[in-house]
Amino acid sequence: MKPAVGFLSLLLVCGGAQATEKAAPKSVATPPPQAVVTAPRTLDELIAVMEREARKAGVDPATVRRVLAGFERLPEVVELATSQTEHERTVAQYVSLLVSAERIELGRSRLGEHQRLITEIETRYGVDRHTLTALWGVETRYGAALGTRPVVRALTTLALEDLRRPEFWRGELLQALRIVERGDIAAVGMIGSWAGAIGHTQFMPSTFNRFAVDFDGDGRRDLMGSVADGLASAANYLAHSGWQRGEPWGFEVTVPDGFDYALSAPTPLRSLVFWKERGLKRAGGDALPASALEHRLLLPAGANGPAFLVNRNFGALLRYNPAVPYALAVAHLGDRIAGGGGFVKAWPDEPAMPRADRQELQERLAALGLDTGGVDGIIGSLTRNAIRSYQKTQGLPEDGHPSPGLLERLRAQR
Ligand code: CA
C-alpha cells in the first residue's frame, strides 16, 4: 500500500529528512524506467493524457482543462523530488528532534483545547487521543505547518518534469482534481507539501479520496480548514489499517543476557507469553502486561539500543508512513503527551551511516553471496536478513542492524 502521507518517507531511502520539508513517498525513488518513454512533456500533451485518464476514473474531463488552464510551473518541487537529501539522521536523532519538550507541551495544550472533539473521534474510531494528537504534532506541528505550495501546480509540475515517476504524479493529480470536483477543497485554495500532501494530517490526494471524512458535518471533507475533518480522517485511516481499540502501540522492554537476537526478525509476531518465557520485561523491571495482541521485537538501533515490543497498532502507524523512526516518533510523542517518561535505555553513540556507506555495506554483503535486494543504499528487510546471516557467521548478536562497526568488520575481511 502507498504511504498515506507525504511526510518523511525519504527516511527509508536516505536515512533522514528535514522536519521542515515534506518528503515524497518512498515509491518515488524507485521509478519504473519504461515510464520515461511515454510521459507527456508539454502541458497540452499532459492535458490530453489526463482527459483520457479522467474519463476512465469517472472524473469529468472538462475539470482537467479547467483546472490546469493557465498552469505555471513550480520549479523547486522537481529539485525537491529528485535530490538525494544529505540530511542523514539516526533514529535517535530523528526521534529526539520530533519529540521535543516544546512539542510535548504544545501537544498537551492542543489536546486540552480540542478535548471534546478528540474524545468524540476516539470513541468513533478507537484510536486513542494521545496517539492521534501526536500524529497531528509530527505531521504539521498541530496544524501550524500545513505546507506552503499550491498542490495542483506542484503535482502538475511533477507530472511533467519528474521523469522517474510521471505516472505516480499523474495519478495523484487526477485524485486532486477529484477533490476539486467534489467540492471538498477548491483548486486555488488547495495548499500543501511539495509532494501534494494536504491538510492537518497530510493526506496525499489518493488517500484523501479513500479515507477522508466530513466529521464536522458541513458537507465538505476539508482536511485543511477543519481540525475535526483532518483528525477524524487520520483516525479513520488508522482504523482501516488495523488499529486495535483499547490497546497501546507497544512499549519499551529489557532483553536478558544471552538472548537470541535472531528473534528480532520482523515476522512472525508472537504472543506476550512467548516473549515472557524468553526473559523480556518492561523497561523499568515490571513483568510484561497481559494482551491478546501479538508483538514483535523492534530494535531500531540494534542490540545496543532501546528495545521495544510492538503490535499491530505500531503496524498501523507504519502504514501511515512506512518508516520506523516516523512510527516510533508518533508512538513516543503520544506516550509523552500522556505523561510518560523518556526511553529507559540510552541510544548507542553511533553516527548515521551515509548513503555511500550503506551501499558499500550492501556490496560487501552481496560479495559474500548474501541477498541484499540490490545495492541501493536502502536498508530493507532483505538487507537486514543479509546482515543477520553475516552476523551469525561472525558469532555476533543477530540484530540485523547496519552499523559503521559492521562495515568496518566487512572491510577488514577482504
Ligand atoms: Ca467538513
Decide if 223 contacts 201 (C-beta within 8 A).
yes
Going from the Cα of 52 to the center of ligand 1, the distance in angstroms, rounded, reads 31
Going from the Cα of 277 to the center of ligand 1, the distance in angstroms, rounded, reads 49
Decide if 365 contacts 372 (C-beta within 8 A).
yes
Going from the Cα of 214 to the center of ligand 1, the distance in angstroms, rounded, reads 4
How far from chain centre, in Å, is Cα 198? Answer: 15
Rg of the Cα trace of the chain? 22
Q: What grid cell was written down for 22?
A: 515534506
Average pLDDT over residues 303-316: 98
Residues 371-388 have pLDDT tens digits of 999 999 989 999 999 999
Separation between Cα atoms, residue 200 and residue 246, nearest integer Å: 24
Going from the Cα of 217 to the center of ligand 1, the distance in angstroms, rounded, reads 5
Domains identified in the chain and CATH numbers: 1-244+346-352 (1.10.8.350), 250-337 (no CATH), 355-411 (no CATH)
Going from the Cα of 60 to the center of ligand 1, the distance in angstroms, rounded, reads 23
Going from the Cα of 337 to the center of ligand 1, the distance in angstroms, rounded, reads 27
What Cα–Cα distance (Å) separates residue 311 from each residue in 3, 39, 133, 268, 369?
19, 41, 20, 11, 33
Going from the Cα of 299 to the center of ligand 1, the distance in angstroms, rounded, reads 40
Structure confidence at residue 162 (pLDDT) = 93
Going from the Cα of 220 to the center of ligand 1, the distance in angstroms, rounded, reads 4
Going from the Cα of 334 to the center of ligand 1, the distance in angstroms, rounded, reads 25
Going from the Cα of 413 to the center of ligand 1, the distance in angstroms, rounded, reads 61
Cis before 32? omega within 30? no
Going from the Cα of 130 to the center of ligand 1, the distance in angstroms, rounded, reads 22
Going from the Cα of 235 to the center of ligand 1, the distance in angstroms, rounded, reads 15
Which residues, other chains included, contact 3 with Cβ-Cβ below 8 Å and sequence gap of 6+? 9, 25, 26, 27, 204, 319, 320, 321, 322
Going from the Cα of 236 to the center of ligand 1, the distance in angstroms, rounded, reads 14
Characterize 89-114 residue by residue with b for buried, 16 or more Cβ atoms within 10 angstroms of its Cβ, and e for exposed.
bbbbbbbbebbeeebbebbbebbeeb
Question: When comparing pLDDT for 329 and 39, which is higher?
Answer: 329
Res. 9: pLDDT tops 80: no
Separation between Cα atoms, residue 235 and residue 212, nearest integer Å: 10
Separation between Cα atoms, residue 224 and residue 172, nearest integer Å: 17
Res. 302: pLDDT tops 70: yes
Decide if 234 contacts 197 (C-beta within 8 A).
no
Local confidence band at 39 (pLDDT 50, 70, 90 cut-offs): confident
Structure confidence at residue 86 (pLDDT) = 52
Separation between Cα atoms, residue 259 and residue 233, nearest integer Å: 41
Res. 276: pLDDT tops 70: yes
Separation between Cα atoms, residue 356 and residue 154, nearest integer Å: 30
Structure confidence at residue 414 (pLDDT) = 66
Is 42 exposed, middle or buried (CB count within 10 Å of its CB: 0-12, 13-18, 19+)? exposed
Going from the Cα of 241 to the center of ligand 1, the distance in angstroms, rounded, reads 22
Res. 92: pLDDT tops 90: yes
Rounded to the nearest integer, the mean pLDDT of the chain is: 90
Going from the Cα of 114 to the center of ligand 1, the distance in angstroms, rounded, reads 16
Residues 320-371 have pLDDT tens digits of 999 999 999 999 999 999 999 999 999 999 999 999 999 999 999 999 999 9
Separation between Cα atoms, residue 184 and residue 361, nearest integer Å: 47
Local confidence band at 221 (pLDDT 50, 70, 90 cut-offs): very high
Q: What grid cell was written down for 186?
A: 477548491
Local confidence band at 85 (pLDDT 50, 70, 90 cut-offs): low
Going from the Cα of 123 to the center of ligand 1, the distance in angstroms, rounded, reads 18
Give the length of the chain.
Answer: 414
Going from the Cα of 17 to the center of ligand 1, the distance in angstroms, rounded, reads 31
Structure confidence at residue 19 (pLDDT) = 27
Please report, to the nearest 10 degrees, the dihedral formed by the alpha carbons of residues 347, 13, 197, 336 taken in order. -10
Going from the Cα of 182 to the center of ligand 1, the distance in angstroms, rounded, reads 13
- Of all residues in the chain, the percent with pLDDT exceeding 90 is 86
Supply the angle between the helices 129-140 and 101-113 in degrees, to the nearest 10: 120
Res. 30: pLDDT tops 50: no
Res. 33: pLDDT tops 60: no
Separation between Cα atoms, residue 238 and residue 235, nearest integer Å: 5
Going from the Cα of 184 to the center of ligand 1, the distance in angstroms, rounded, reads 8
Going from the Cα of 229 to the center of ligand 1, the distance in angstroms, rounded, reads 6
Average pLDDT over residues 121-143: 98
Structure confidence at residue 88 (pLDDT) = 79
Going from the Cα of 211 to the center of ligand 1, the distance in angstroms, rounded, reads 13
Res. 60: pLDDT tops 50: yes
